[in-house]
Structure 1
Amino acid sequence: MPQKKGRTLLIQIGNGADPEVFAALCGLTTRSFNLSTNSVDTTIPDCNNPDATPQRTTEPGINSRTFSGSGAFVSSANTTAFMTHVIESTTFNAKVIVPGLGTFTGTFFVTDFELSGETEGNMQFSATFEAASVLAFEAED
């Protein structure tokens, strides 16, 4: 399988219309998508031989799906709509497109957002998005 470009790992923000239209959050130069699961301890000591060293066992717990990215802050209608969600701490529909894997679609919210800039440079931003609902997954063909 050929290598995939990091720039094709995208988060697209929904516009809330019916049918909903998704557009990429522009300006991202660095991005990551984390899939993690807590582990729940299910270890039970040996009741017949309490002196025996227990074998640790676990099972999957809570899933976490987090997208983060940073880059140039680009003014656009899509960015303005996105910033409304950030400022008002509201949820929105989004798609995370993971090249070579597929698309995760569902409700997200921004847990961390930062704007920064230097005197002679362009304004930059960074954001962390967490899933606010169970995400639907569609595998890439």
Structure 2
Amino acid sequence: MAAQRGKDLLLKLDPDGGSNFITVAGLRTRRIAFNAEPVDVTDAESAGRWRELLGGAGVQRASLSGSGIFKDAASDAAMRQLFFEGRLGTFQAVIPDFGSITGPFQVTALEFAGEHNGEVTFEMTLESAGALEFVAQ
């Protein structure tokens, strides 16, 4: 994969639960992380006492995070509403020349900050809450 512009990594939200995704506006930084929790099956008979892992087991998860300034009333309101209602939302991360990841996420952190001589900024963290769909580009 060749070098890509960071602004092309998009985070989108489907506020109505249909298939009408809107870009979460004002994000200056975005990040997606995938993790798989290994299942250790090492025992006294493991070759050379090396750790053994059970393939296809464990818990997989994804985290999405971003920070910036809200520039769009619709995405601002939708993010706040999901957080305060504790509901899951359908999000999509678009990664250039890689593909898109779509699925249910919960807004687990929503932080606001501001300097007396600057704009209000926000940070948010989303955690996967179910199976995710990957579509390659």
The TM-score, its normalising length taken from structure 2, stands at 0.90
Q: For residues 4-19 of structure 1, what are the structure 2 equivalents within 5 Å?
A: 4-16=4-16, 18=18
Q: Which residue of the partner structure matches residue 43 of structure 1?
A: 42
**1:63 maps onto 2:60 in alignment:** yes
Counterpart selection for 1:74 from 39, 57, 71: 71
Gaps of 5+ in 1: none
Q: Over aligned residue pairs, what C-alpha RMSD do you find? A: 1.8
Find the aligned partners of 2:106 and 2:65 in 1 and give their Cα distance. Answer: 11
Counterpart selection for 2:132 from 132, 135, 140: 135
Measured after TM superposition, the shift of residue 56 of structure 1 is 1.2
Find the aligned partners of 1:67 and 1:7 in 2 and give their Cα distance. Answer: 15
Counterpart selection for 2:98 from 98, 101, 113: 101
Name the SS for the 2:37 alignment partner. Answer: strand
Q: Which residue of the partner structure matches residue 85 of structure 1?
A: 82
Name the SS for the 2:58 alignment partner. Answer: strand
Q: Is the 8 A contact 2:4 2:96 kept in 1?
A: yes
Gaps of 5+ in 2: none
Measured after TM superposition, the shift of residue 120 of structure 1 is 1.2
The number of aligned residues is: 135
Find the aligned partners of 2:72 and 2:11 in 1 and give their Cα distance. Answer: 17
- Runs of 4+, deviation exceeding 4 Å: none
Measured after TM superposition, the shift of residue 17 of structure 1 is 5.3
Q: Is the 8 A contact 2:17 2:89 kept in 1?
A: no
Find the aligned partners of 1:88 and 1:79 in 2 and give their Cα distance. Answer: 14
Find the aligned partners of 1:46 and 1:15 in 2 and give their Cα distance. Answer: 53
Q: Which residue of the partner structure matches residue 31 of structure 1?
A: 30
Find the aligned partners of 1:17 and 1:69 in 2 and give their Cα distance. Answer: 21
Measured after TM superposition, the shift of residue 2 of structure 1 is 3.1
For the pair shown, the structure with the greater C-alpha radius of gyration is: 1
The TM-score, its normalising length taken from structure 1, stands at 0.87
Name the SS for the 1:41 alignment partner. Answer: coil
